[in-house]
A = this chain, B = another copy of it.
Amino acid sequence: MRAAVLFGPGDIRVVQRPVPRPGPGEVLVRVAMCGTCGTDLKIFDGHFPLTPPFGEFTPGHEWTGTVAAVGETVDEFAVGDRVCIEAHSGCGRCDNCITGRYTACLNYGNAAKAHRATGMTANGGFAEYAVHHVRALYPLPANVSFADAVLVTTAGTGLYGLDVAGAYIAGQDVAVLGPGPVGLMTVQACKQLAARQVILVGTRPSRLELGAELGADHVVNAGEVDPVRAVLDLTDGQGVDMAIEASGGPATPQQCVEITKRGGKILVVAFYPTDVTFDLSAMVRKDITLYTSRGEGGNNVKRAVAMAGAGKLRGEQLVTHRFALDDIAEAFRVLREREGDPMKVVIAP
């Protein structure tokens, strides 16, 4: 098969590789599409821990496709089934995995013990075929396109965050900071969980417009107005019940502290280029809890698939650029240089 292999920092090439064989409990998937995200840029530059060695490693952790073969004991799927994934498949035996927190697997990166973060610590989806454990695959309804399915994985991140945050959103006010793919999928999720107001904060007008189309009740351009003031004005001065930080901007955690109601919640589903500084005392004084979540855990991709199947989560609208596998280097250039204001750039092998 053809597979994109990382040969060194910034050096990705499409080469021939043997099709992988699914072991017990594993499934071989003919990849139809694989999304790219900010983490891929770090991986691409060689700045991600526990990746396989250069010359062997195929990244890509937002893939979807059709089952091509199943390993021993797998009867959950049959050849031809359309599936999407979550990135993490835990070891199933550490304290965290057995209590259901597999994104925090204590054997993270330990392939011998069956941990697999596809496209991160194991080969992923920038290839014609990929293998994953059955526990990390989800069947796609017929009305969910592969482009939707790439974003279903993304939605899983937001939903897992909401899950971790114990959130039953009905009637509550939520602010989402950062109208990237995670942010926009989370805007939709909050709206579909009956939020009263979803306020989307960002700086790029095109993204804010898309957010409004996808259900944000209010959009705040932080480049034009003070976002703290704006959110407080929309919430009678009390702030939101939950602020969701999806921007990764080092200044936004402090904004979250300021826009969150006493007794409220902050959910961080972003990574930062530097350490972050904020008024932790204010957080304590306001009895705020700060939740974090990494990736799609807690079986939340299953929930995302169901929501997409019911038309409650739309993904395809976020796909702005499509590239063939052979053009993957160009795809990453576009992503990095933000050429043409990319939202979600996908590779279709």
Contact = CB atoms under 8 A, between A and B. Distances in A.
How many of these chains are in the complex?
A: 4
B159 A262 contact: no
Contacts of A306: 170-172, 194, 196
Nearest to A170: B303
Contact of A263 (B25, B96, B291): B96
Nearest to A245: B280
Nearest to A164: B289
A280 B287 contact: no
A100 interface: yes
Q: Among A104, A172, A309, find the residue whose CB has the most chain B CB atoms closer than 10 A.
A: A104
B171 A304 contact: yes
B294 A285 contact: yes
A93 B298 CA distance: 12
A275 B284 CA distance: 12
A79 to B, nearest CB: 19
B253 A280 contact: yes
Contacts of A96: 262-263
A101 B104 contact: no
Interface in A128-165: 133-135, 159, 162-164
Interface string A69-100: 00001001000000000000010110111111
Contacts of A112: 73
Q: Among A159, A275, A292, find the residue whose CB has the most chain B CB atoms closer than 10 A.
A: A292
A294 B282 CA distance: 10
A73 B113 contact: yes
Given A194-B312, A278-B275, A284-B294, A170 B101 contact: no
Nearest to A161: B284
Interface of A: 25, 73, 76, 90, 92-93, 95-106, 108, 112-114, 133-135, 159, 162-164, 166-168, 170-172, 189, 192-194, 196, 238, 253-254, 261-263, 268-272, 275-281, 283-294, 297-299, 302-307, 309-310, 312
14 contacts: A90-B98, A92-B135, A104-B262, A106-B238, A168-B168, A171-B304, A172-B303, A194-B307, A254-B275, A268-B284, A276-B278, A277-B277, A284-B294, A289-B290
